Each structure stands twice: as structure tokens, then as C-alpha cells.
Structure 1
Amino acid sequence: MIKSMTGYGIGSADNGTVKYTVEIKSLNSKFLELNLRLPKAVSDKELFLRGECSKLIERGKVNINISTEYVDQTAKGASINAELLKSYYSTLQAIANQLGDTKANIFEQALNMPEVISHDDEVDEEEGNVLTSAFYAAVEKFNTFRKDEGNVLKQDLQHRVELILSHLTEVEAVEGSRIPLIRERINQYMEEAVGKENVDMNRFEQELVFYIEKLDITEEKVRLRSHCNYFIKALNGADSNGKKLGFISQEMGREINTLGSKANNAQIQQIVVKMKDELEKVKEQLLNVL
């Protein structure tokens, strides 16, 4: 079963006091490119979440956004250092009096001074468990999305590889007349060049066999069919093997190119062009396979 690198999933969890929502989006990439945005209160969970992403998501350009919502909005309210606020206020007011500035908003300025307002940035274990529950729920939906997209990719990839196999059958149908035509053409050239009576037929047969061996495409056909069948087998395997399928498609491309260069036949070369067209579409689709 193959999976797409494109995916989307959203999950949430709450304990009656706080609710966490995790949203995951991904596009294709050769490696795991993770952009993780989470509230400062749970920043200590970042390393854990990154480790889980490397195991559960594997590859892709992934964006994860984590938001939090408290049922009681005062549960994580800020605290004010009253003594420090008074000190700042007195100092600022004394300076304003010295400068003759009676319009300054001293209280607001004092309130914005460093360490006057502090937030509780630590969460307890229970709240941390709510976050991880939301994360795993999002990952589950995300991977389900990937599998569904992968199933669509699988059908398209298998169809295109089967088309390459059908084109290979067309090559085999045409190939039967290829060697006799080559033999006839060379024989005609020899007769025109030196005359039929001057052709050493034994030598001619030896050279012809040597030449035809160079044009033989039997090995290329066998290997191409083998690579195509192996591709379909890997495509239907239990794991998602995007990189493996990419390597197999490269081998398919080598055999198709060699077949085209050795064909020495316009009709076969036209069929080879069709094969190359389908293989390029296969390679484009494999960029989206995990």
C-alpha cells in the first residue's frame, strides 16, 4: 500500500478545563521538513513531538499548528507584581514632574515595564496528555488522508506501467519482420555496390550475423518486462516504497532507451516514444509518493 506525501489532518482533545487542537498539512519533499508552531506553555514538548513526527510522518514538507483554548479564561491569567509596578510608577512620575510633562500616561507605561506582568508558562502532566492525545488524533486522520490519496496514485501508476507492457507487446509484434528487412536491405546495398556475382555469401552471412547481434533487443525486452512486473509487485506491497519505486522506474528508463537506440526501425521507435511518455508520467506521480 502506497501513501501520498500530500496530506491533511486535524484532531482535538480536552479535559474539561483546556482544549488542544492540532492541525497537520503536508506537501511532497525528499526529506522531512517540519515547521512546528505550538504555544509557549508547551514548548517543552517540542522535541518529543518532532521525534514522533519523524516516526509517524516520515517524509514531506509538513506544517503543524497547535492551538489551545481554556474553558476558564482566567485559568492561565497573568499575575501582576504590585510592588514593582509601584516602584516604576513613582520613578516615572518623578521624572515627568521634573520635565514638566503632565500629560504622560504614567500608569500604562509602568504596566508595560519588564517583569511587571508575568505568565505561568508551565503545564501539568494532565494538560500535557491532552496535547499528545490531540496530536495522535490528528496524525491518525492525516495518515488516513495519505492512504486515500495513495490509493488514487496507485491506480494511476499501475495503469501506466501496464500501458508500457502493452507497448512492449506491440514491439514484439513488429519485431518479427525487422531482421528480414535489415537482411534484405543490406543484401541490396552489397549487390548495388560490388555486383551480385562478386558477393562472398559465406563472408556476407558471417558479417550479417555479427551485425544483427548488435541490434538484438531480446535482453532489453526481458529486462523491461521484469522491471515492470517488479514495479507492480512493489506497488501492491504492504509498505509505501516511493524511493524504491523511483529506483525501479530509472531501470525501466534505461531499458527503454537502449531498446530505442538498438531498434533501427521507425515503427518500433515510435512505440518507444509512447513508452517514454508513459514513464515520464510515472516519474512525475512518484514525486508525490511517500
Structure 2
Amino acid sequence: MPVYSMTGYASAQQSPGSAPAGTDGGKSATPSRLGLEIRSVNSRFLDLSFRLGEELRAHEPALRELITARIKRGKVEVRANVEGVGAETVREPTMGTLQRLGALQDTVKTWLPTAASLSVAEILRLASADETSTVDWTETLNQVAAQALKDLVAAREREGARLATMLLGHLEQLRALAAQAKPLVPQLVEQQRQRFLERWKEAMALSEGTATPEAAQDRALTEATAFAIRIDVAEELTRLAAHLDEIERLVKKGGEVGKRLDFLIQELHREANTLGSKSALLELTRISVDMKVLIEQMREQVQNIE
């Protein structure tokens, strides 16, 4: 199953009784067409908003059901309107429409004698609106919405594939950094033990034998061991490797993995921070910083995954 991004855009237009935009078909028999746009960005949950023309507002529940069946997360905005086509395709008003407009104008003039008469442009506009209001847009809207939603899902899938490739590449870089850090752990522990013992010996020499050598040495070894345990990062590297394996498994599995990936990225960041705070070697500090840079880049991208 692919990984889907929450970012995408798609649009579609169609006239009643005509083929969808981009396909072969004759000219529309009506002087209007329906246009629909869908935009989506990242969000913690599915957040739908609709901006529909007056003729289409009754169809919002059907659009909501259609979208929720395909999209699970993201802030999704749907815009749909009925638009008139160019003047070169304006059709002749029907006799019935002209009769209704004439009767309405006579009624208005009866009560408002000084009212201006309708112009030709106003008659054509009102006639076009009258024709549009009598069109049943249900089938056309369903076709346009289905096409736009299909294109949106495809766009989110393409973006998701790009994000998955980026994440897998960052995982390999993190594994390489962890491999660099692993041989430094025993070296760091032994180095700190030796340094601690040397300082204890210097302190005992300054104390001029007030403590027995055996007791001083035992205490030095105990303190050195406790300090070595505090700076040992082997456990952090083990947990970090486990998190990397789980992230790779989820990315390759695909589907709705965004929330789980976001949690694992937080765990990765915690281990990298601990690695840096325990570090007593400059090389380990550099590795920790490089890890955190990569993890932050992953965190920004994971927030776009559904």
C-alpha cells in the first residue's frame, strides 16, 4: 500500500450532458458549466470545508460522504460553482423565458412607472440564470467530484512516494551515524575509567596517606564504574536502531501511518538528545548533532503524511 501525503490539489469542469473536460465530446446544450476544485494540506484530523454556489449547496452531504470514503486525514477545502461560458456561445432565450421577463417588467412598471426598462444584456443575463436554475446538476456534480477526487488522491500518492523515498534515505544516514558511534562506546568508557583513576591517585598523593591504599583504590574503582555507566550510550544506540527499523517497516507498509511515524520521530529525537547529553567525546557530540538535524528534517516531512 502506498504512502499518501496530505498535500494536494485537483480540479475538474463539465457541462450537463457533455463529456468531462479533457475528453472528446460535443458542445454543451446549456450556456453554463460546473467547475470544482479540491485543495488539501496537513492536519491532525480530517477537516472538511465547502464553498458551494447557491445551486449546489444541497449536494454538500453527498460530497462529504464521497470525500470521507477516500481521505482520512488533512484539511480539505472544496469549491464548486456554476459558471457561464463566453459570449460567443450565448444561446437564444426561449419564448417562455421572454414572456416571464416581460410579464415581470409590466408588473414592476405598474407599481413603479419610472423604473427603467430591461436592456438586452440584462435580459440575456436573466434568461441564462433562469435556464441554469432549472438544470439538475446532480449527475454532473457527481462526475466532476469523482474525477477531481481521483486526481487529488493520485497527487497525494505521488507526493507521498517522494516523502517515503526521502525518509528511507534519511534512515540510512542515521544508521551510518549510529555505526560510527558504536565503536566509540567501549573506548569512551575505558578512557573515562582511566582518567578517573589517575585523578584519584593524584588526590591520594596530596592527602599524604590519610587513607589506606586498598580502600582508596576500591572507592576509586566504584566511582569510576558508576561514572562509566552514566556515560554509556550503548542502550540509546540500541533503542535508536529499533526505532529506525520500525519506521522503515511502516514506510514500506504504507497506508495511514502518519500518526505512528510522528510518535516514532519524537522517540528518535529523545534518543539523539540523550546521546548528546551523555557524550564525553567530541566525535560523539558531532554525531548527535548530525542525527538531530536529520531527525528534524524527517519530522517536518512526516507531518505531511496521512
Question: Paired residue for 1:186, among 165, 181, 196?
Answer: 196
Task: Tell me the TM-score normalised to structure 2 length.
Answer: 0.78
Aligned length: 272
Contact 2:3 2:255 in 1 (8 A): yes
- Paired with 1:259 and 1:27, the residues of 2 have a C-alpha distance of 34
Q: Could you tell me which residue of structure 1 aligns to residue 26 of structure 2?
A: none
Question: Paired residue for 2:279, among 263, 281, 286?
Answer: 263
Distance 1:38 1:204, change over 3 A: same
Contact 1:160 1:282 in 2 (8 A): yes
- Paired with 2:235 and 2:183, the residues of 1 have a C-alpha distance of 16
- Paired with 2:47 and 2:145, the residues of 1 have a C-alpha distance of 18
Distance 1:131 1:235, change over 3 A: same
Instruction: After TM superposition, give the deviation of residue 81 of structure 1 in Å.
Output: 6.0
Contact 1:41 1:122 in 2 (8 A): no
Q: Could you tell me which residue of structure 1 aligns to residue 37 of structure 2?
A: 23
- Paired with 2:65 and 2:297, the residues of 1 have a C-alpha distance of 34
Q: Secondary structure at the match of 1:2?
A: coil
Does residue 274 (structure 1) correspond to residue 274 (structure 2)? The answer is no
Q: Could you tell me which residue of structure 2 aligns to residue 80 of structure 1?
A: 100
Instruction: After TM superposition, give the deviation of residue 205 of structure 1 in Å.
Output: 1.8
Does residue 286 (structure 1) correspond to residue 287 (structure 2)? The answer is no
- Deviations for 1:174-203, whole angstroms, at most 9, x for unmatched residues? 223111110111111112212297542222
Task: Tell me the TM-score normalised to structure 1 length.
Answer: 0.81
Q: What amino acid does structure 1 have at the position aligned with 2:232? A: D
Q: Secondary structure at the match of 1:64?
A: strand
Q: Could you tell me which residue of structure 1 aligns to residue 24 of structure 2?
A: none
- Deviations for 1:137-160, whole angstroms, at most 9, x for unmatched residues? 111111111111111111111111
- Paired with 2:83 and 2:185, the residues of 1 have a C-alpha distance of 71
Q: Where do 1:214-253 residues align within 5 Å?
A: 214-253=230-269
The RMSD of aligned alpha carbons is 3.0
Q: Could you tell me which residue of structure 1 aligns to residue 161 of structure 2?
A: 151
Q: Where do 1:38-187 residues align within 5 Å?
A: 38-68=52-82, 73=91, 80=100, 83-93=103-113, 104-108=114-118, 119=130, 121=133, 123-124=135-136, 127-187=137-197
Q: Could you tell me which residue of structure 2 aligns to residue 202 of structure 1?
A: 218
- Paired with 2:260 and 2:58, the residues of 1 have a C-alpha distance of 37
Q: What amino acid does structure 1 have at the position aligned with 2:111? A: T
- Paired with 1:79 and 1:195, the residues of 2 have a C-alpha distance of 117
- Paired with 2:118 and 2:12, the residues of 1 have a C-alpha distance of 40
